[in-house]
Structure 1
Amino acid sequence: MALPKTRFIETTLRSPLLQLPVRSVVFELEAARVLYSPASVLTSEQLRDAGAITDLVAPSLMHTAGMKAAAAAHPSARLWGPVGVREKHPDLSWHGILGVDPWPFEAELALIPLPGMPKVNESLFLHHAAKALYVTDMAFNVLEPKGLAAWMFYGSFGIYRRFAVSRLFLRFAKDRPAFEATLAKVAGLDFQHVVPSHGEPVLDDGKARLIAAFRERGLIK
């Protein structure tokens, strides 16, 4: 699968009980190359093969483990992360905080912070060139789960072999009105594809399926 001005880097977090697919993404913007959600299992070679990177983005507090190695591989890149990331990783030099400091790529890669989730602080990103919405842990689409406990892990969160919003993720939404108001705005955005960090991209009918997933959890009307 190919999307305009986009490169996927596919990796897997492996344990005896669960194999979790993880997707990192390089966005080719007009004046920047952004590495989104560098996975903790990316090798030095994979990080170098990503090419010249100007900006590194940790889209949530749950996706920060790969930033140190990515910053070492791309020492001139600016580091972006969610509220709380400076406290979590004080050893790294953070350029900006998502949703707080000005995001310079809004016209090409729109930033959509999800409010009311202080332990996660996930942001969605809308890549206009590809009409693709990127989500981190809000929704999964692992259609071929692997590992002895895969059925238990995915099943308990309502995401076993299907595209759906994770029940676990929703437990972190402490301000549900603010969270749901943002999702209602997301449902009105112009996109065709949904690309989760975990599992297969949902192409062409991604918006319709995401809206259906929101409604399944009672998040929008």
Structure 2
Amino acid sequence: MLRQLDQALWAAEDTLKLPGIHFPVRSAVVRLQGGGLILFSPLPSVEQAAEEIRALGEVRAIVAPNLMHHLGLAPAARLFPGARLYGPRGLREKRPDLTFAGALDDAPDPLWSAEIDQVAVGGMPRLDEVAFFHRPTKTLFLWDLCFHITQSDHFPTRLFMRLNGAYGRFGPSRVARSLMRDCAAVGAAVERMLAWAPERIVVAHGDVVERGGQAALESAFARVL
């Protein structure tokens, strides 16, 4: 179930079958130079990849990157009981059943700060997304801020994604744009991401942008902001 993207980077991929829609979903695993693993946005089906993940090292942190990507947290916490949970501040109220070690903001946790930068995307309080940048591989991680669904064998999914402005291109969907209450704050976060000069962009929904990430990001938000 795991797919290696780079020397210290893997992705777990699945299809979330919602009523009428087959939604591609992806989580990410980053191995730190010290050997520990960071599991970003674990899938609800994380158990299927648990043995592969354990073979890579010890999971030290499980990260929910926004208010939507939390369905895999409880199963991941059971599978990797030694890991600390992190998520946006508002997720504590949404998931009182979970114990979080820290709330995400613009400052990377000391556990990963030597290798991973992050920025909280302001201006979207109902999403409260945090983007991450893995410096050694020049990889930017986005979750619901941008989609990159270029193909689907499921016609209702293709139709829905076209109506959502999120089919056949990289960028924010119409739903994501509707959540932007302060475009200046969103733009400031995007500027931070552009300054990192990402080469690869890993999205939660759709194809990985393998090269030219900085240009793709700039083009996507030139239309929005």
**TM > 0.5:** yes
**Aligned position for 1:173:** 180
Displacement after TM superposition at 1:182 (Å): 1.7
Displacement after TM superposition at 1:63 (Å): 0.2
Residue 47, structure 1, aligned to residue 54, structure 2: no
- Report the residue type matching 1:48 in the other structure: E
**Aligned position for 1:125:** 132
Q: Which structure shows the bigger proportion of residues in helix conformation?
A: 2
- Report the residue type matching 1:117 in the other structure: M
Separation of aligned partners in 1, 2:106 and 2:133: 18
Please point out which of 113, 123, 130 is paired with 1:106: 113
5 Å matches for 1:1-221? 2-15=5-18, 17-31=20-34, 32-42=36-46, 44-51=47-54, 52-99=58-105, 103-104=109-110, 105-217=112-224, 219=225
Assess if the C-alpha contact under 8 Å between 2:133 and 2:140 holds in 1: yes
Deviation >4 Å, runs of 4+? none
Assess if the C-alpha contact under 8 Å between 1:13 and 1:41 holds in 2: no
Assess if the C-alpha contact under 8 Å between 1:16 and 1:148 holds in 2: no
Aligned residues: 217
Task: Single out whichever of 190-199 and 155-164 deviates more from structure 2.
Answer: 155-164
Unmatched segments (≥5 aa) in structure 2: none
Displacement after TM superposition at 1:115 (Å): 0.9
Separation of aligned partners in 2, 1:2 and 1:48: 18
SS in 1 for 2:165: coil
Displacement after TM superposition at 1:102 (Å): 5.8
Separation of aligned partners in 2, 1:195 and 1:169: 17
Unmatched segments (≥5 aa) in structure 1: none
Q: Deviations over 1:116-152 (max 9, x none)?
A: 2211100000011110101001111111124342133
Separation of aligned partners in 1, 2:121 and 2:202: 17
TM-score w.r.t. the length of structure 1 is 0.92
TM-score w.r.t. the length of structure 2 is 0.90
Separation of aligned partners in 2, 1:187 and 1:173: 19
- Report the residue type matching 2:181 in the other structure: K
- Report the residue type matching 1:134 in the other structure: F
Displacement after TM superposition at 1:100 (Å): 7.3
Q: Deviations over 1:33-84 (max 9, x none)?
A: 1001001233x24223311211000000010110000000001100000121
RMSD: 1.7
SS in 1 for 2:5: coil
Assess if the C-alpha contact under 8 Å between 2:197 and 2:213 holds in 1: no
